[in-house]
Amino acid sequence: MTELSGGPDLPQERRVVTAIPGPKSQELLARKNAAVADGVGSVLPVFTVRAGGGVIEDVDGNSLIDFGSGIAVTSVGSSAEAVVRRASAQLADFTHTCFMVTPYEGYVEVCEELARLTPGDHAKKSALFNSGAEAVENAVKIARSYTRRQAVVVFDHGYHGRTNLTMALTAKNMPYKHGFGPFAPEVYRVPLAYPYRWLTGPENCAEEAAAQAIDMISKQIGAENVAAIIIEPVLGEGGFIEPAKGFLPRVAEFAKSNGIVFVADEIQSGFCRTGQWFACEDEGIVPDLITTAKGIAGGLPLAAVTGRAEIMDAAHSGGLGGTYGGNPVACAAALGAIETMRELDLNARAKRIEEVMKGRLAAIREKYDIIGDLRGRGAMIAIELVKSGTKDPNPEATAAVAKACHSAGLLVLTCGTYGNVLRFLPPLVIGEDLLNEGLDILEGAFAEL
């Protein structure tokens, strides 16, 4: 009997044959607890042996529906054919030389693709790194080098990473910042246009939030001191918040008028996740710099900063890089992921996922008043849970629903500043039957509350 492999040929079915996690996963969890630092947690401690399409198979033979995509990483699916083909061929040729020592074509090809895909028709250049946090840190370095300024402006509820500088940029304390200070200086936080929670109502949100943010920058920092404004066009860890329409263009125009580098952090929202190559395209935003990672390489570690050539070239030779940045195997995987996105039209797939999910979730929301808000775009959808009759966050119900989904064989993730958001990030290649089955499980979890 031929052993099953992962990838698109894995049977696309939910299969629960043990308790979740099962006995073999429990054994591995004991080994993890003995060998891995406690600070490295796991949302659902089932140990994966295969994954592909819209499912994850564990060591106990359970097959779970995947509404997480490794936090928006496996958008093209785990082990997508083009990713495996290209990465395997590169693996056979050479695994590493360090681009800063002896370069290779794959790195250049990825940068060429990024120039084609990112918004704007201006001359662009890129630099490749390993992780989203690295990309954000380097965007700050580049902006500071270009402007000769130091201050960096970020927004309430934003998340930008776990390194020292990116912890300073990140809004949420627990678990990302607690006990890890002091943090990098010259970082300033301003209000975000969060429609559901804007005190005077969503209809006033964009104008008032932008006015407040610009006023704070002007009075408390001085626009002439700001190197960069960094924002996620759709916020990730902060709760899948879509800033109210009009807010991003107003902030981007303020940046442009004051010589400030506008940075779109598209690490979670980029590469077809929202039904467009990049979420900032929704309001016609053309950022000066754009940071990408996660979905860029089908599961291999790769990140990038892409932007206006004159800004990207501001850093001196040798000022950007890293031993593994733009690893040749990861670059090959990225070219395979981009090939898959084009061939399967994953932007259209993301829009169809949104249509199905929002329709089903709206019906569930009608039945359960603890669902306070339904939001998101493409395959980046969320519901915010509150206490009945209020807008008070309800993290307890959020955790209970997630636990019930996990037990039934559906992987879901939580997020949000208040821990009360269920976020849905299915692979863009998930089948519609699996998508609907997962939503059935979710509805059943609410019924159990």
Q: Is the pLDDT of residue 3 over 60?
A: no
Q: Measuring CA to CA, how many Å separate 128 from each of 134, 147, 165, 305?
A: 9, 21, 18, 7
- pLDDT recorded at residue 1: 32
Q: Is the pLDDT of residue 441 over 80?
A: yes
218 three-class SS: helix
**What global pTM score does this model have?**
0.96
Q: Is the pLDDT of residue 282 over 70?
A: yes
Residue 36 CA, distance from chain mean position = 25
- pLDDT recorded at residue 2: 39
CA-based radius of gyration for the chain: 22
What's the rounded mean pLDDT across residues 345-361?
Answer: 98
pLDDT in tens, 99-148: 999 999 999 999 999 999 999 999 999 999 999 999 999 999 999 999 99
pLDDT in tens, 77-89: 999 999 999 999 9
pLDDT in tens, 177-188: 999 999 999 999
pLDDT in tens, 192-246: 999 999 999 999 999 999 999 999 999 999 999 999 999 999 999 999 999 999 9
Place of tokens 């509805």: 443
* CA gap 80, 180 in Å, rounded: 38
- pLDDT recorded at residue 387: 98
* CA gap 377, 282 in Å, rounded: 10
* CA gap 437, 442 in Å, rounded: 9
CB atoms within 10 A of CB 363: 11
Place of tokens 């089932």: 46
Q: Is the pLDDT of residue 5 over 80?
A: no
Poorest-pLDDT segment among 1-5, 156-160, 175-179, 299-303: 1-5
Given a contact cutoff of 8 angstroms between Cβ atoms, the answer to whether 299 and 76 are in contact is: no
Tokens (6 digits) for 37? 């630092």
Q: Where are the beta strands (DSSP E) in 113-245?
A: 124-129, 151-155, 187-190, 226-231
Tokens (6 digits) for 212? 């407040």
**What is the average pLDDT score of the chain?**
97
Given a contact cutoff of 8 angstroms between Cβ atoms, the answer to whether 47 and 28 are in contact is: yes
Q: Is the pLDDT of residue 427 over 70?
A: yes
Given a contact cutoff of 8 angstroms between Cβ atoms, the answer to whether 281 and 255 are in contact is: no
pLDDT in tens, 375-421: 999 999 999 999 999 999 999 999 999 999 999 999 999 999 999 99
* CA gap 142, 313 in Å, rounded: 8
pLDDT in tens, 8-37: 789 999 999 999 999 999 999 999 999 999
Phi, psi of 384 (to 5 degrees): -105, 125
Q: Is the pLDDT of residue 161 over 70?
A: yes
Tokens (6 digits) for 406? 């996990």
Burial-class residue 148 by CB neighbours within 10 Å (0-12, 13-18, 19+). Answer: exposed
Q: Is the pLDDT of residue 169 over 70?
A: yes
Q: Amino acid identity of 39?
A: G
Given a contact cutoff of 8 angstroms between Cβ atoms, the answer to whether 90 and 106 are in contact is: yes
- CA-based nearest residue to 78, from 57, 62, 107: 57
CB atoms within 10 A of CB 43: 13
Sign of the CA dihedral with 332 first, then 91, 429, and 20 last: negative
- pLDDT recorded at residue 6: 67
- pLDDT recorded at residue 9: 81
* CA gap 94, 104 in Å, rounded: 10
For residue 410, the cross-strand partners are 65
Percent of the chain with pLDDT over 90: 98
- pLDDT recorded at residue 7: 73
* CA gap 209, 44 in Å, rounded: 37
